[in-house]
Chains A and B, each alone.
Chain A
Amino acid sequence: MKNKIFFFILILLSFVLSFPQNETVKDENGLKLDPAILKEFTIKDVRDDDGTKLEISCQKILEGENYLFKLYRKEENDTTLKVVKTFNSFPVKIVDEGLSYQKKYDYYISVTDSLGNESEKCLITGSVSPKPNLFRTEKTILLLMIIVYTAIIVFLVESVRKGKDLFVRKISGLDTLDEAVGRATEMGRPVLYVPGSSTMSDIATIASLNILGPVAKKIAEYETKLIVPNRDPIVMTVAKEVVKESYSEAGRPDVYNDNDIFFLTDSQFGYAAAVSGIMTRERPATNLLLGMFWAESLIMAEAGNTTGAIQIAGTDAVTQLPFFITSCDYTIIGEELYAASAYLSREPLLLGTLKAQDYFKGFIIILITLYFFILLISWLTGGHIVFLDKILEMLRFIFKS
């Protein structure tokens, strides 16, 4: 008997609990949204945006209800209501996008029961308009990094200008450039300069054109023929200017031939085939392959290797470096390509930036090492030291930024 009573009470209790007991929605006159819920809704502007987003949220906890809520938006001087989102649980956070900061918006909410009856649409709050922001706060660290890096560069450039001596390690690939050009002169054969397969938006191409300047000057002094085939029309135009200026600077504008710097094709392997053809036909004594290269690198380097030319290659494309190392006499690896301009000219201003690169690299190494050791200690101690976790979190934030 006792069990039966207990069972009966249990059933009754479950009925009571499963019944919508929240203050939600129904009264004698039909479906109506509880003003208490409405009060909980907030509308605020989304930070760090262009004034096109508003965030509508409600922290109220409401579960187990079989109702559907609809959020509507209405422009201030308009009569039509547009559905922003339909949802069925609380708390809720909705970001309404695609708005204009020059307009004001009203937001309404309604509730629909399982039979499809929709309540009256209730205004959440007065008119709101999104605000455009002037700064992305989440990018502060990135901006700081740029400022610090630029400041270090400017500071070092200034100190070099004042006469501070900077040590730059030997880069054999660049040291040999003179010798390679000299060899072509001795043999009476041309020098082939390939500025890579990429466009001007690739900094490696700009770095390559920076090397082309001093090389062309040397070639003009020796009166050797220089061939520069291009894959990109803009690169070709810039290369022409660089060579023309260098020839003028060397006092030999008469030796410059506009047709020696030309466009081949924008096809990656068509370009490689054409360059290989030039290597075989013209038999340059020196091939300089400097810039950005991809899968076509080996085709050019091997063709040059077959003709017996002295080859100096340089790229920051990591996967192509092994091919250049096997097929060329000297290879300029990664960042050495960017250092080339300063290295060749020994211009104090440019040398200053090299040092800045080193300092920043040191800073990154310190951060990575610090992260590694703290992570190791945290792992060894089972992650119980809150202080370490905070530092890790901070470092992760810096890396992500």
Chain B
Amino acid sequence: MFVRRTLPLLVSAIFGVALILQFFVPHPASKNFYNMMLDWLIIVSAFTYLIAVQSTVELHVTKIKRKVEGWQYSIIVLVSLFVTAALGIFGGAFMPTTLWMKIFPSVKPSDTTPLMYTYLYMQMPMQSTIFSLLAFYMASAAFRSFRARSFDATLLLITAGIVTLGRVPLGEFIYKGLPDVVEWILKYPNMAAQRGILIGVQLGIIATSIKIILGIERKYLGGGK
């Protein structure tokens, strides 16, 4: 219980208060403590990728073992994971390693590395495709949901129409002052509404942080209470 509950609560309380105080104390000792904390954070972050690899491998190995539906794809995931890592380690990230150049004498230091090759010609097109889906989904969502059901919805609809048109050169071609109208909408009505939400959100963020530091909020440690 002490290790799973009390200790994490103590750690978050002590370091939470210490880092808040550190912000107000400019003394070199406080600065050194702050720098040490940042170094720790960076070191811990580096290790999180190991957890990611462990989780991915465990999940897909289990899928293959149990032969769950689509288990063949898990083989592709695991092979891709290890081949990409091997290419990066032995071939270099942005410049070919000496080992790689020894194995393949025709490779020059200015050549594209195998890792960069997979990045440019596999990852780039695949990920761009996913992002481009957004345009299609937006079209269907706009068609399905953008209805002038009430006065508010009509107002929203007209504004959306103006902004959509004003954000492209064609809008400017239709009416020269349209980009200025769009800028005005984004700068004033849009910002006023956003700020209202943001103030609430930021207070929520501060309150949650204080709750965690004071140990009032502990659900993130697991359990309903």
Contact = CB atoms under 8 A, between A and B. Distances in A.
Chains A, B in direct contact (C-beta < 8 Å): yes
Interface of A: 48-52, 101, 132-136, 139, 142-143, 146, 149-150, 153-154, 157, 203-204, 206-207, 209-210, 213-214, 217, 232-234, 236-238, 241-246, 248-249, 259, 262-263, 266-267, 269-270, 272-273, 281, 295-296, 298-299, 302, 316, 318, 323, 326-327, 333-335, 337-339, 341, 345, 347, 349-350, 353-354, 356-357, 360-361, 364
A232 B48 CA distance: 8
Interface of A is mostly: helix
B27 A262 contact: no
Contacts of A136: 23-26
A203 B209 contact: yes
B109 interface: no
Contact of B225 (A242, A295, A347): A347
A357 B27 contact: no
B59 A270 contact: no
B222 A298 contact: no
Could you say which of B208, B212, B221 has the most chain A C-beta atoms within 10 Å of its C-beta?
B208
Interface in B1-49: 20, 23-28, 30-31, 48-49
B173 interface: no
19 contacts: A48-B26, A135-B26, A143-B24, A209-B220, A233-B48, A234-B48, A236-B51, A237-B51, A241-B222, A245-B223, A249-B225, A267-B127, A270-B127, A273-B130, A316-B197, A335-B203, A350-B216, A356-B207, A364-B199
Nearest to A347: B225
Contacts of B24: 135-136, 139, 142-143
B140 A302 contact: yes
B185 interface: no
B55 A233 contact: yes
B182 to A, nearest CB: 15
Interface of B: 20, 23-28, 30-31, 48-49, 51-52, 55-56, 58-59, 62, 69-70, 127, 130-131, 133-134, 137-138, 140-141, 144-146, 194, 197-201, 203-212, 214, 216-217, 219-225
Contacts of A323: 141
Contacts of A270: 127, 130
Given A133-B26, A339-B204, A269 B127 contact: yes
A213 B223 contact: yes
B52 A233 contact: yes
A392 B153 CA distance: 38
Given A133-B26, A298-B141, A350-B217, A245 B222 contact: yes
B30 to A, nearest CB: 8
Contact of B70 (A135, A153, A281): A281
A302 B137 contact: yes
B25 A134 contact: yes
Could you say which of A296, A333, A338 has the most chain B C-beta atoms within 10 Å of its C-beta?
A338
A157 B214 CA distance: 11
Closest 4 CB pairs of A and B: A245-B222, A338-B204, A335-B200, A245-B223
Nearest to A281: B70
B141 A334 contact: no
A360 B206 CA distance: 11
B201 A335 contact: yes
A206 B212 contact: yes
B131 to A, nearest CB: 5
Contacts of A326: 141, 144-146
Contacts of B224: 213-214, 217, 246, 249, 345
Contact of A272 (B27, B30, B48, B130): B130
B20 A338 contact: no
B197 A333 contact: yes
A51 B29 CA distance: 11
Could you say which of B27, B49, B140 has the most chain A C-beta atoms within 10 Å of its C-beta?
B27
B115 to A, nearest CB: 15
A357 B204 contact: yes
